[in-house]
Amino acid sequence: MKLDPQTYAAVASRAECLATANDIEAALDRMAAALTARLGDKDPLVLCVMTGATVVTGRLLPRLDFQLRLDYIHASRYQGATRGGEIGWHHRPSEAIRGEHVLVLDDILDEGITLEHIVRACREDGAASVTTAVLVEKEREHACAADVVGIRVPDRYLYGYGLDYKNYFRNAPGLYAVADVDC
Ligand SMILES: O=P(O)(O)OC[C@H]1O[C@H](OP(=O)(O)OP(=O)(O)O)[C@H](O)[C@@H]1O
Ligand code: HPA
């Protein structure tokens, strides 16, 4: 569904910036250092979790100065809503994963259900190892933990740097918490 320009502007004006682009770029530097230490000699297969992880993947990969390959995996459970539902699989690269040291890269760890399903699928599909990294982790309980976390934020609905609000705002140059009235 499309947002009309008035609603779009009103949502943006009510949102609160929780992390600036500078904060996030510094977090990406830290993530790159941690991932280099873990995977620098493993020739990993990086799996971008579509669609939200496109921005973190694009910003992080040029910081990883070692041999790697890029593919994608697509499981989602929000579909433009602010509450998650059943997980839906759209692309599971089972053949590509077999025997690989996999790095699953996602934008956010919220309830952790998406990452839990993806890690389980990678193990079922015969990955040699599975490492997980997320740009943002919400301060709440998660169904599974991420190995590498860029930035931790309060448990509010967020947009920006790949994260969407009603399929918009993935291009916002920071992390913004949506006002309660818009959730
Ligand atoms: O930890 P969870 O509560 O499971 O939520 C995290 C997941 O939710 C978002 O995906 P979404 O289903 O919204 O798809 P999208 O990437 O296309 O936005 C996000 O990109 C994570 O993959
Ligand atoms: O806070 C969020 N914002 C955008 N997408 C999400 N997917 C899970 N949590 C969020």
Domains present along the chain, CATH in parentheses = 5-79+87-178 (3.40.50.2020)
What is d(CA 171, CA 97) in angstroms, rounded to the nearest whole number?
Answer: 30
Overall average pLDDT of the 15-44 stretch: 98
What's the confidence (pLDDT) of residue 81?
86
Q: Is 107 a catalytic residue?
A: no
Q: Is the pLDDT of residue 33 over 90?
A: yes
Provide residues with CB under 6 Å of ligand 2. Answer: 78, 108, 110, 157-159, 163-164
Q: Choose which residue among 57, 72, 78 to substitute to test ligand 1 binding: the one with the highest number of ligand atoms within 8 A of its C-beta.
A: 78
> How does DSSP classify residue 3?
P
Reduce the DSSP state of residue 175 to 3 states and report it.
strand
Q: Order of strands across the sheet with 174-177?
A: 16-20, 174-177, 158-159
| pTM for this prediction | 0.97
What's the confidence (pLDDT) of residue 79?
82
Q: Is the ipTM of this complex over 0.85?
A: yes
43-96 confidence digits (pLDDT tens): 999 999 999 999 999 999 999 999 999 999 999 998 878 888 999 999 999 999
Q: Which of 107, 110, 125, 164 is catalytic?
A: 110
Ligand 1 midpoint to CA 56 (Å): 13
Q: Choose which residue among 144, 157, 183 to substitute to test ligand 2 binding: the one with the highest number of ligand atoms within 8 A of its C-beta.
A: 157
102-140 confidence digits (pLDDT tens): 999 999 999 999 999 999 999 999 999 999 999 999 999
